[in-house]
């Protein structure tokens, strides 16, 4: 009720202010139209851009600085590397991600304050740090899950990509041409990384440096092994097609071993929800009638 009364009072004050200032605002609008009469607007998107530069960009920078101030151990470079590893760097910048963390923390704190007003001051004091901390670390948790999912996707796509690279190299193409052929016929996270590596090589980056950067962006052992093998083949003059065939077979064995490991862990993971949800229901069904009969007999005996 107190929150509703405050909102009603604020709305009433806003309406009174609008009514009082209506003549002055109309006069200002008329003067502005008269001053701009005859002018031609050449760029329709200029006002939106000015608003973005004047309001949105400074707000994002301030929220990002606040996030770095709250968590001094984090750095913009480390977060940028994590965004690249998750595949979100093309959609959101480092400053925007930090701003999202600060905004989520502030939103959680405001929600806790509102609950405290509705429930009680003590609940608000307890919930403010909980909700603010949850809002601050929720984007980081989402980013971690995104990195893991993308790494698993790259691992699953690597054997097929290596087979296509091996066929292309054996057909007479160089590694650059084989990667270009791969980007034309396949899609996915791994292909995006190869396309980025190919673009770096085309703008003047050396092949070893571009491949090493790809291995750094994707922390997957299979991809790092592939990069090491390609670099060693270049240095020692070994047939690249044969190396790629061996790497494809090795990555398939690793993928099969990982799948078997997950299958062996599944019964252990299923034990906890089974014990938590299924066993209590079974005990209620089995022991419930006996408990009811015993209680009825005790009451009847009295």
Task: Compute the distance between CA of residue 233 and CA of residue 131 in angstroms, rounded to an integer.
Answer: 54
For domain 153-257, give its CATH number from 1.20.1260, 1.20.81, 1.10.260, 1.10.3470: 1.20.81
pLDDT score recorded for residue 39 = 55
Is pLDDT at 301 greater than 80 in this prediction? no
3-class SS of residue 43: coil
Q: List b or e across 208-235, with b for residues whose CB sees 16 or more CB atoms inside 10 angstroms.
A: eebbbbbbebbebebbbbbbebbeebee
Task: Report, as an integer, the average pLDDT of 293-297.
Answer: 79
Per-residue pLDDT tens for 29-39? 776 776 665 55
Task: Compute the distance between CA of residue 175 and CA of residue 111 in angstroms, rounded to an integer.
Answer: 55
How many Cβ atoms from other residues are within 10 Å of residue 302's Cβ? 5
* C-beta separation of 241 from 166 below 8 A: yes
Is pLDDT at 40 greater than 60 in this prediction? no
pLDDT tier, 124 (very low <50, low <70, confident <90, very high otherwise): low
Per-residue pLDDT tens for 230-279? 888 878 777 777 788 888 888 788 878 878 888 888 888 887 777 777 87
**Using CB atoms within 10 A of its CB, is residue 70 exposed (0-12), middle (13-18) or buried (19+)?**
middle
Name the pTM for this structure. Answer: 0.63
pLDDT tier, 106 (very low <50, low <70, confident <90, very high otherwise): confident
* C-beta separation of 244 from 234 below 8 A: no
pLDDT score recorded for residue 45 = 47
DSSP for 244-296 reads HHHHHHHHHHHHHHHHHHHHHHHHHHHHHHIIIIIHHHHHHHHHHHHHHHHHH
Is pLDDT at 17 greater than 80 in this prediction? no
Task: Report, as an integer, the average pLDDT of 15-26.
Answer: 67
3-class SS of residue 192: helix
Residue 226 CA neighbour count, 13 Å, CB half: 33
Task: Compute the distance between CA of residue 183 and CA of residue 196 in angstroms, rounded to an integer.
Answer: 10
Task: Compute the distance between CA of residue 112 and CA of residue 121 in angstroms, rounded to an integer.
Answer: 10
């Amino acid at each position: 009720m107190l929150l509703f009364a405050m909102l009603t009072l604020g709305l009433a004050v806003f309406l009174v202010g609008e009514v009082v200032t209506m003549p002055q605002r109309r006069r200002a609008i008329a003067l502005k139209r008269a001053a701009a009469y005859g002018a031609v607007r050449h760029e329709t998107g200029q006002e939106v851009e000015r608003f973005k530069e004047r309001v949105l960009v400074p707000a994002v920078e301030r929220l990002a600085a606040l996030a770095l101030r709250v968590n001094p151990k984090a750095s913009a470079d480390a977060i940028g590397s994590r965004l690249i590893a998750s595949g979100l760097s093309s959609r959101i910048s480092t400053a925007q991600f930090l701003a999202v963390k600060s905004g989520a923390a502030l939103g959680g704190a405001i929600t806790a304050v509102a609950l405290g007003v509705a429930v009680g001051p003590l609940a608000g004091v307890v919930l403010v740090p909980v909700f603010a901390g949850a809002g601050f670390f929720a984007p980081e948790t989402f980013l971690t899950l995104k990195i893991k999912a993308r790494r698993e996707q790259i691992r699953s796509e690597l054997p097929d990509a290596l087979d296509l690279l091996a066929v292309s190299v054996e057909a007479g193409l160089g590694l650059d041409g084989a990667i270009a052929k791969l980007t034309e016929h396949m899609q996915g996270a791994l292909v995006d990384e190869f396309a980025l590596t190919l673009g770096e090589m085309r703008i003047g980056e050396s092949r070893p440096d571009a491949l090493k950067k790809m291995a750094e962006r994707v922390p997957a052992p299979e991809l790092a092994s592939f990069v090491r093998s390609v670099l060693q083949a270049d240095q020692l003059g070994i047939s690249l097609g044969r190396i790629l065939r061996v790497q494809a077979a090795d990555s398939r064995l690793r993928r099969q071993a990982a799948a078997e490991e997950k299958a062996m862990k599944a019964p252990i993971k299923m034990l906890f929800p089974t014990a938590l949800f299924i066993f209590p229901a079974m005990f209620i069904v089995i022991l419930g009638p006996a408990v009811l009969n015993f209680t009825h007999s005790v009451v009847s005996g009295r």
